[in-house]
């Protein structure tokens, strides 16, 4: 059954009022409903598609319809391999929507974001504390993502007043950490409440690295914007630029050359590989097991050097462009990859053996920081962390593209502890090496161009790439001149940060760095 | 396993100098620059030069390269440079990122917590003038707008060798 009929049947079966369905792309379906049917429709799709809220955002339609805001809520239909967007429109005089978060938890962070960025009030949401525009520095009544936003130069900020959840009682200690941490890492504030050793509550306050990226993108030419995408989260530079290019290519109706598709897979897997090496080492560091940690840092270094040899950028910047990739890989470079890969493969298996054969190491990671599958589902966890908790969701399988012609197994573990996340990494690193080998074999068969040009065109589309941490989603609207009208970005960290605060419960504070590293979430990707 | 690790360590020796035929030239270069760096630090700071790193909204690539400076290949510690956990122990602040409004106060406080004499080194293109994020509503347009900066290490991100080289240049100047 195709997506259109499938969704239509679901909606009709539950008597949703006026339904307006459209499919601008083969894997995207838009359902426009009236305001009072919105929550009902979303709840229905959430339940029937068994999907968390993947994206939930607003758009200022100022150019087409002044004073109107469109609200989109996106679900994933694994069965029909498509994205389902539910849309409602609200007008500026009455910027209120019924809260979805009351019924569907995975919508709650999005509602907080929408209320601070657009001033759209989700009626009934109990928690509308600001995520990114901190009270200490940002005044009331300035909503950056509105088109008529003006900079609040020097206006007095709201002041302090971020209410942390308080745990009170005899013997409870509150331990605040951050935003500047002891290590060389991004800024975030963690507030632990402990009774004795175990953590009984952890609250995260993020947003410190907010740079206003979604606003910055508006009005930019698509090609020019790729550079910004490469600087959203430095460790996922390629994943981000690929997701954005994919969305623009969908709008412009470009089929990128087979060789470019293969090269994108190659680079994406290289990115996965160096990050997995980094994290396997990081987990060892955080239990004080320095030998494998240093060994892993050398593996990472060798992959970064390989990246540099291939693309003259250690972090794979400057490769992607709208319509394909900028640079091809010749026979010499293929030989360099083959030679490096042999060594990397051997090093990875050695690293794995070092870690898994150490009883004291396994004792630390086993049953530490458990994220239960129920919690993971409710929070809408995606990517690597979800796969370690028994949710087999890998976008490379749902939307295969060129991955369909390559063979690999998606990882899946069940216990949801640090050891599971480590095992998922080991598994994926091996699969990545195998995928790169397959890519190299296929490259000869798809000789030719690596990029194509296209006519300017307007429209909307969603780009999705399973980057190493999880799916990176980029929804783009291009106007007729080929400039970005609105861009919504969702990093896997956005939901997964919340998972961390559940995974650490009952663990001791000294195990927090270990739990944290096992997720290895992005501060800049979350804060944008 | 432990036998194999031991054997491996003996066989491999010091990876910093004897790593891989392709890396030998790199190792020699690091050793040379590092040797000069070490002498410079000895002459100017006594024994060592300690830095505290602050991320003020960088994308994380700069952090990754700073961490790479401490891996066994570059091993910046052997030249007397170390990254410390507290600004109270630091001779210099190493700042990355365009300074988001949220991080402005944290950066100032970290700077104030350092004992005199203190230096500020910025790292990465965003840290100087804000880079790509210069025109954003939520950045302060670079570190120099918040605290006095002594030196800048350019690049997006600068690679570890570049960081070591530029630090040497800074110490020669100061």
The shortest C-alpha distance from B1 to chain A (Å) reads 7
pLDDT of residue A387: 92
Task: Please check the confidence at residue A14 and state whether its pLDDT lies above 60.
Answer: yes
What is the secondary structure of A306-342 as a DSSP string? HHHHHHS-TT-TT-EETTEES----HHHHHHHHHHHH
B149/B145 Cα distance (integer angstroms): 9
Question: In a 3-state reduction of DSSP, which class is residue B44?
Answer: helix
Which of A184, A294, A336, A513 to mutate: most B Cβ within 10 Å?
A: A184
| pLDDT value of residue B17 | 37
Decide if A456 contacts A482 (C-beta within 8 A). yes
Q: Which two tokens stand for residue A401?
A: 């593209």
- Tell if the CB–CB gap between B62 and A234 is shorter than 8 Å: yes
Split at pLDDT 50, 70, 90, the class of A466 is very high
Q: Enumerate the residues of chain B whose CB falls inside 8 A of the CB of residue A300.
A: 68, 71
Closest chain B residue to the Cα of A181, Cα to Cα: B85
Identify which of A237-241, A308-312, B140-144 has the greatest average pLDDT: A237-241
Strand-pairing partners, residue A87, are: A32, A72
Instruction: Mark yes or no for CB contact A215/B137 under 8 Å.
Output: yes
pLDDT in tens, A165-200: 888 888 898 889 878 888 888 899 999 999 888 999
pLDDT the model gives residue A228:
92
| Per-residue pLDDT, A422 | 93
Confidence of residue A17 (pLDDT cuts 50, 70, 90): low
**Does the beta-carbon distance from B57 to A524 stay under 8 Å?**
yes
Chain B residues with CB inside 8 Å of A179's CB? 102-103, 106
Site from A138, A234, A303 to mutate, B interface, most B CB atoms within 10 angstroms: A234
Nearest to B60 among A138, A234, A291 (CB): A234
> Which residue in chain B is spatially nearest to A187 when comparing CA positions?
B55
Q: In Å, how far is B86's CA from the nearest CA of chain A?
A: 7
What pLDDT is recorded for position A411? 84
What confidence score (pLDDT) does residue B22 get? 59
Of the partner residues B67, B102, B133, the one whose CB lies closest to the CB of residue A137? B102
Give the pLDDT confidence score for residue B18 in this predicted structure: 41
- Number of C-beta neighbours around residue A524 at 10 A: 30
Q: Give the closest of B105, B106, B157 to A234, CB-based.
A: B157
Cβ contacts of B132 on chain A, cutoff 8 Å: 216, 227-228, 231
Angle at A8 between CA A5 and CA A14, to 5 degrees: 140
Mutate to test the interface with B, among A211, A285, A362 (most CBs of B within 10 A): A211
Neighbours of A203 (CB within 10 A): 18
- Would you call A186 and B72 a contact, using CB atoms and an 8 Å cutoff? no
Chain B residues near residue A155 by CB distance under 8 angstroms: none
Residues of A in contact with B29 (CB under 8 A): none
What is residue B29's predicted lDDT score, i.e. its pLDDT? Answer: 74
User: Closest Cα of chain B to A146: distance in Å?
Assistant: 13
Cβ–Cβ below 8 Å for B101 and A237: no
Q: Write out chain B residues lying below 8 Å of A314, CB-based.
A: 65, 157, 159
A184 vs B83, B135, B138: nearest CB: B83
Each residue of A192-228: pLDDT tens digit? 999 888 999 999 999 899 999 999 999 888 888 999 9
Measured CA to CA in angstroms, residue A60 lies from A95, A118, A209 at distances of: 12, 8, 24
Give A151→chain B minimum CA distance, Å. Answer: 6
- Residue A268: pLDDT band with limits 50, 70, 90: very high
For A324-344, write each residue's pLDDT tens digit.
888 888 888 889 999 999 999
Which pLDDT score is estimated for A3?
75
What pLDDT score does A468 carry? 92
Q: Is the pLDDT of residue A4 over 80?
A: no
Distances (CA, A) of B56 to A498, B26, B103, B146: 22, 31, 6, 11
Residue A471 dihedral angles phi and psi, to the nearest 5°: -70, 130
**What token pair was written down for A257?**
């050359």
Tell me which residue in B103, B126, B156 faces A187 most closely, judged by beta carbons: B103
* More confident site: A444 or A275: A275
CA–CA distance, B65 with A517 (Å, rounded to integer): 18
Is residue A73 over pLDDT 90? yes
pLDDT at B19: 45
Nearest to A264, CA basis, from A288, A243, A283: A243
The mean pLDDT value of chain A amounts to 89
Residue A345 CB partners (closer than 8 Å, separation 6+): A433
The residues that bridge with B120 in the sheet, in sequence order, are B93
Q: Which parts of chain B register pLDDT below 50?
A: 16-19
Q: Inter-chain contact A297–B71, Cβ cutoff 8 Å? A: yes
Give the one of B59, B68, B98 whose C-beta lies nearest to A234's C-beta.
B59
Looking at the DSSP bridge assignments, the partners of residue A495 are none
Q: Say yes or no for a CB contact (<8 Å) between B138 and A228.
A: no
Q: Which of A138, A180, A354 lies nearest to residue B54, judging by beta carbons?
A: A180
Predicted confidence at residue B109, as pLDDT, reads 92
On chain B, the residues whose CB falls within 8 A of the CB of A227 are 132
Task: List, in order, residues 6 or more apart from B13 with CB less than 8 Å away.
Answer: none
d(CA B169, CA B40): 10
How close, in Å, is residue B71 to chain A by CA atoms? 6
Q: Which residues of A touch B75 (CB under 8 A)?
A: none
Report CB contact under 8 Å: A149, B136. Answer: no
The Cα of B163 is separated from the nearest Cα of chain A by a number of Å equal to 14
CB A348 within 8 A of CB A373: no
- Which of B2, B64, B138, B163 would best serve as a mutation to test chain A binding (most A beta carbons within 10 A)? B138
> Is there a contact between A232 and B86 if contact means CB atoms under 8 Å apart?
no
What ipTM was predicted for this assembly?
A: 0.90
A351-370: per-residue pLDDT in tens? 998 888 888 999 999 889 89
Q: What is the mean pLDDT of residues A114-123?
A: 90
pLDDT at A450 over 60: yes
Question: How many whole angstroms separate alpha carbon B164 and alpha carbon B174?
Answer: 16
Chain A residues within an 8 Å CB radius of B62: 234
- Minimum CA–CA partner of A209 in chain B: B57
CB A249 within 8 A of CB A481: no
Give Cα A42 to chain centroid, integer Å: 21
Quote the distance between the C-alpha of residue B46 and its chain's center.
19
Between chain A and chain B, how many beta carbons pairs sit less than 8 Å apart?
145
Q: Are A77 and A3 in contact (CB under 8 A)?
A: yes
């Amino acid at each position: 059954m195709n997506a259109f009929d499938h969704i239509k049947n679901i909606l009709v079966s539950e008597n949703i009022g006026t339904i307006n369905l459209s499919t601008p792309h083969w894997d995207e379906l838009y359902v426009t409903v009236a305001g009072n049917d919105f929550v009902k429709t979303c709840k229905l799709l959430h339940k029937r598609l068994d999907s968390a809220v993947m994206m939930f955002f607003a758009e200022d339609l100022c150019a087409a319809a002044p004073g109107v805001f469109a609200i989109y809520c996106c679900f994933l239909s694994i069965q029909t391999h498509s994205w389902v967007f539910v849309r409602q429109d609200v007008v500026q005089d009455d910027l209120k929507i019924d809260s979805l978060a009351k019924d569907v938890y995975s919508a709650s962070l999005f509602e907080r974001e929408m209320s601070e960025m657009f001033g759209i009030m989700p009626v009934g949401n109990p928690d509308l504390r600001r995520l990114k525009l901190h009270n200490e520095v940002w005044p009331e009544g300035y909503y950056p993502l509105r088109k008529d936003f003006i900079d609040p130069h020097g206006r007095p900020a709201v002041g302090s007043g971020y209410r942390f959840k308080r745990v009170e009682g005899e013997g409870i200690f509150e331990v605040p950490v951050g935003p500047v941490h002891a290590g060389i890492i991004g800024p975030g504030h963690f507030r632990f409440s402990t009774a004795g050793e175990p953590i009984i509550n952890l609250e995260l306050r993020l947003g410190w690295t907010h740079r206003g990226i979604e606003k910055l993108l508006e009005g930019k030419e698509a090609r020019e914007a790729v550079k910004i995408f490469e600087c959203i989260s430095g460790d996922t530079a390629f994943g981000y630029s690929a997701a954005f290019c994919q969305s623009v290519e969908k709008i412009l109706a470009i089929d990128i050359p087979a060789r470019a598709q293969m090269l994108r897979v190659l680079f994406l897997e290289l990115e996965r590989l160096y990050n997995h090496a980094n994290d396997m080492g990081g987990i060892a560091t955080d239990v004080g097991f320095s030998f494998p940690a240093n060994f892993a840092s050398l593996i990472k270094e060798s992959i970064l050097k390989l990246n540099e040899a291939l693309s003259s950028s250690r972090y794979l910047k400057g490769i992607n462009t709208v319509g394909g990739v900028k640079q091809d890989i010749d026979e010499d470079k293929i030989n360099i990859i083959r030679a490096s890969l042999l060594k990397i493969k051997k090093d990875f298996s050695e690293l794995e053996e070092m870690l898994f054969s150490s009883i004291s190491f396994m004792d630390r990671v086993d049953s530490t920081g458990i994220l239960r599958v129920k919690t993971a589902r409710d929070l809408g966890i995606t990517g690597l962390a979800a796969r370690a908790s028994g949710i087999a969701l890998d976008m490379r399988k749902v939307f295969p593209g060129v991955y369909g012609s390559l063979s690999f197994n998606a990882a899946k573990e069940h216990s949801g502890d640090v050891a599971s996340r480590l095992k998922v990494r080991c598994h994926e690193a091996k699969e990545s090496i195998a995928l790169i080998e397959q890519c190299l074999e296929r490259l000869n068969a798809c000789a030719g161009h690596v990029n194509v040009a296209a006519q300017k065109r307007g429209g909307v589309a969603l780009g999705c790439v399973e980057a190493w941490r999880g799916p990176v989603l980029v929804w783009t609207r291009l106007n007729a001149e080929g400039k970005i009208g609105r861009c919504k970005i969702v990093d896997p960290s956005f939901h997964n940060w919340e998972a961390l605060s559940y995974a650490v419960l009952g663990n001791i504070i000294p195990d927090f760095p270990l739990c944290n590293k096992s997720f290895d979430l992005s501060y800049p990707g979350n804060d944008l | 396993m432990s036998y194999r690790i031991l054997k491996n360590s003996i066989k491999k020796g010091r990876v910093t100098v004897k790593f891989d035929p392709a890396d030998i030239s790199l190792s020699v270069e690091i050793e040379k620059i590092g040797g000069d760096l070490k002498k410079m630090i000895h002459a100017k700071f006594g024994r060592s030069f300690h830095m505290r790193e602050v991320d003020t909204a960088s994308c994380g690539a700069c952090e990754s390269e700073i961490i790479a400076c401490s891996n066994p290949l570059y091993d910046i510690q052997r030249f007397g440079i170390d990254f410390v956990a507290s600004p109270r122990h630091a001779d210099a602040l190493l700042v990355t990122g365009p300074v988001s409004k949220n991080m402005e106060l944290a950066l100032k406080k970290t700077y104030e917590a350092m004992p005199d004499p203190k230096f500020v080194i910025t790292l990465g293109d965003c840290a100087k003038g804000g880079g790509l994020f210069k025109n954003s509503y939520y950045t302060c347009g670079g570190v120099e707008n918040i605290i006095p900066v002594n030196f800048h290490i350019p690049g997006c991100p600068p690679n570890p060798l570049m960081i070591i080289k530029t630090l040497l240049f800074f110490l020669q100047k100061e």
